[in-house]
Structure 1
Amino acid sequence: MELSLRPLLAASLIGLAGITSGCATKTPAQKASGEIFDPYESTNRSIHGFNLGLDKVLVRPASKGYIAVMPPPMVDSVNYFAENLSMPGRMVDSLLQGKFKQAGHALARFLINSTVGFAGLADPATEFEIPQVDTDFGETLHVWGFGEGAYVELPIYGPSTTRDAVGVVVNMFTNPLDFAPTKPVNNISLYADGARRLGDRGRYADTVDAVLYDSADGYAQARALYLQNRRYKLEGDAPDLYITPDEISTEGF
C-alpha cells in the first residue's frame, strides 16, 4: 500500500501555520499602510534557520549537482511536466475566482501539452499563443476578500502569509488529477514540483544565495521580496500595499 504524502504535509503545515499565526490581526492603520505584519517573527526566524540549514546541507548542493548533470533541455522538460500537471488545479482555482476565460486557457494548455507536447514534456501551447495561467488558492481567497494576514515562514516552502499558507494546503487536494481512478505514480505531482523547484534553485543559485547568505539579514530581505512580489501579483500597481523604500532600507537591503 502506497503512502500518500499530502495528508502528512498538510497536517504539518496547518499545525505550524497555526502556531505562527495565532489570533493576531492587523490594525486599520497597518492595513492602510501595507507595512510588514510579522507578529511572530521569533518563530518565523527559527523556521527560517531550519530552512537555511536544510538548504546548506541538502537543497543547495543537490540543485547544483542536478543542473551540472542534467542538460538544460531536460531541465526544461521536467519544468514543463510539473507545470502541466498543475494546470487542472489552476483551472479549478480560475473557476472559483470567476475567471472563466482563464479556466479555459488552463484546460487548453493541459490538453494540448498532454497530447501534442508528449505527456507535458514540451510546451506547444505557448507556441500556439495560449496564455500562461499562474494562480493558486491563496489568490482565490484574495479574490473572495480575505486579507493576507500575518507573514509566516513555512518549513521547506519558505516565505508565505497565513492566507497563502491555507492556499498551499488546499491546493494539495484540489487538483482533479489526484482523484483519477488510476495514476502512473502516487504523489507524482509532488515529485514533479520538487524537481522543478530543485532546478530553479540551481539555475538561480547566485540570486538566491545573494538573498539568503550575502545580505545583512537574509530573513528580512526574503520576507520583503516575497511580500513585494506577491502583492504586485495580486494587486497590480496599487501603491498603498507596497513596502516603502525607507522600510526596505531598514530590512537588510
Structure 2
Amino acid sequence: MLRTRAVFALIAAASLAACSVPGPGQAPDGVWDPYEAQNRRVHAFNRKIDERVLRGTGAGLADSVPDGSRQAVAQFADTVGTPQTVLNQLLQLRLWRATKNTLRFTMNATLGLGILDPAAEIGLVSDESDFGETLAVWGLPEGAYLELPMVGPSTERDAVGSAVDLVTNPLSYALPSPEKYIGTAARVADKVIKRGEFGETVDSVLYDSADSYAQARLIYLQNRRFELGEDAPGAADIDPMALDTTGF
C-alpha cells in the first residue's frame, strides 16, 4: 500500500512537472533549462565525485576484471532488469515487445543462468524500457532539464520515472531480502566497469570540453529524445547514431 501511494505521488509529480514546459519561443534551441544555476552546481559536484572516485576506480576495474567476467556482470544486470522492462512495456501497451522480453528473461534466467545470453541467438536481443519512456508514451512532456547528484543528466519526467522504477521492480517483490538487492548491485557494478571501458569518451566530455555541463546536457537530450522518437536539440547538426553516450 505504501509503495502504491508512492507511485501515485510520483506520477502526480510528473504531471506537475509538465506544467514547467516552455511556451512557443521560450526554448528556441530545444533546451529548457530554467534550473541551470543549480544544475551547474550539481554538475560540478558530480564531476568532482567522478574525478576522485569513479575515474580511477572504473578504469581500474575495467583493466583488472577479465573480459568474460565483465560480460557476465553486464549480462546479469540486463537479466535482472528485464522484468522491469516488461512491466513498462505492458503499461505502454507494447504487448509484442513485452512478450518477447518475457521469453528473453525466461531463457536467460534458466538456460543462461542469468549470466549468458542464449536468447540473443534466436533473435531475442536486449530491448530496454523504463518508466520515463512510459510517461512519454502517455503524453507527458519531458519538463525541465535536470542534473541529479550521483546520477547525472536527466529531465523532470525521467527523474520521476527513475524513482517509480525503484519502487516497482517486480523482482523486489519476488525475492527475499537481501537477495532482492543483488540486481541493483550488479547494475551499479556494470556502470562502474563501463565508466572505465569508455573512459576516454567520458573524459573528453567532462574534462576536455570548454563547457562540460553544456556538452553533457546536449548529448543526453540528443540521445534520450532520439530513443523516444522526439525532436532532439541540434538535430540538424548532430547525428545521434554517431554519438557514443555510454555513461550519460
Q: TM-score, normalised by structure 2?
A: 0.85
Structure 1 equivalent of residue 233 of structure 2: 242
Structure 1 equivalent of residue 241 of structure 2: none
Deviation at 1:131, TM superposition (A): 3.2
1:225 is the counterpart of 2:225: no
Structure 2 equivalent of residue 26 of structure 1: 22
Deviation at 1:183, TM superposition (A): 5.0
Deviation at 1:129, TM superposition (A): 1.0
Match of 1:122 among 116, 126, 151: 116
Output the amino acid matched with 2:84.
G
5 Å-filtered alignment, 1:91-240, equals: 91-118=86-113, 120-182=114-176, 185-235=179-229, 240=231
Aligned-pair identity in percent equals 43
Output the amino acid matched with 2:20.
A
Deviation at 1:106, TM superposition (A): 1.3
Number of aligned residues? 227
Q: Residues 241 and 60 of structure 1: is their aligned pair in 2 closer, same or farther, counting only changes over 3 Å?
A: closer
Residues 118-145 of structure 1: per-residue CA shift (max 9 Å, x gap) = 2x11111111211321110000000000
Output the amino acid matched with 2:22.
K
Query: CA contact under 8 A between 1:105 and 1:133: conserved in structure 2?
Result: no
- Whole-angstrom distance in 1 between the partners of 2:18 and 2:129: 26
Deviation at 1:185, TM superposition (A): 2.2
Gaps spanning 5+ residues in structure 1: where? 1-6, 248-253
Output the amino acid matched with 2:23.
T
5 Å-filtered alignment, 1:2-81, equals: 24-30=20-26, 35-81=30-76
Output the amino acid matched with 2:75.
Y
Residues 217-237 of structure 1: per-residue CA shift (max 9 Å, x gap) = 0010000000000111101xx
SS of the aligned residue for 1:152 comes to: strand
Query: CA contact under 8 A between 1:154 and 1:160: conserved in structure 2?
Result: yes
SS of the aligned residue for 1:91 comes to: helix
Query: CA contact under 8 A between 1:109 and 1:125: conserved in structure 2?
Result: yes
Residues 92-119 of structure 1: per-residue CA shift (max 9 Å, x gap) = 000000000110111111110011102x
Output the amino acid matched with 1:150.
A
SS of the aligned residue for 2:128 comes to: coil
Output the amino acid matched with 1:35.
G
Output the amino acid matched with 1:133.
D
Output the amino acid matched with 1:173.
V
- Whole-angstrom distance in 1 between the partners of 2:72 and 2:140: 36
Q: Residues 23 and 44 of structure 1: is their aligned pair in 2 closer, same or farther, counting only changes over 3 Å?
A: farther
Q: TM-score, normalised by structure 1?
A: 0.83
Q: Residues 34 and 104 of structure 1: is their aligned pair in 2 closer, same or farther, counting only changes over 3 Å?
A: farther
Q: Residues 215 and 34 of structure 1: is their aligned pair in 2 closer, same or farther, counting only changes over 3 Å?
A: closer
- Whole-angstrom distance in 2 between the partners of 1:123 and 1:108: 12
SS of the aligned residue for 1:187 comes to: helix
Residues 47-73 of structure 1: per-residue CA shift (max 9 Å, x gap) = 101100110111111111101110011
Query: CA contact under 8 A between 1:34 and 1:241: conserved in structure 2?
Result: no
Query: CA contact under 8 A between 2:31 and 2:233: conserved in structure 1?
Result: no
Structure 1 equivalent of residue 78 of structure 2: 83
- Whole-angstrom distance in 2 between the partners of 1:105 and 1:214: 41
Output the amino acid matched with 2:118.
P
SS of the aligned residue for 2:147 comes to: strand
